[in-house]
Homo-oligomer: A and B are copies of this chain.
Amino acid sequence: MPYVNIKITKEGEVTADQKRQLIEGATNLLHDVLGKNKKTTVVTIDEVDTDNWGIGGVPVTEIRKRQG
C-alpha cells in the first residue's frame, strides 16, 4: 500500500494519457521492486507553477527565459 507523490512543473500541456502513464508506471515500479500490492497503491501528481518552483536559488520561470 505505497503512496507516491510526483511533483512536476506546469510547463506545456501534460495530457491525461501522460498522467495515466505516470500513475501506472509508479504503481508497477513498487510492485516490481518490492512486491507491493498494486490495488492499494496510491499516486498523486502535483503540477506546480514555474514561478513557484526554484532550483539553485532561481525560479524556473527565470531559468527558462535564460535558456530561451
Contact = CB atoms under 8 A, between A and B. Distances in A.
Interface of A: 1-9, 14, 16, 18-30, 32-34, 36, 38-48, 51-62
A3 B7 contact: yes
The count of identical subunits is 6
A46 B52 contact: yes
Given A8-B36, A33-B18, A51-B16, A41 B56 contact: yes
In this complex, which of A3, A29, A45 has the most chain B Cβ atoms within 10 angstroms of its Cβ?
Answer: A3
Contact of A43 (B9, B21, B54, B61): B54
Contact of A45 (B23, B45, B52, B57): B52
A37 to B, nearest CB: 9
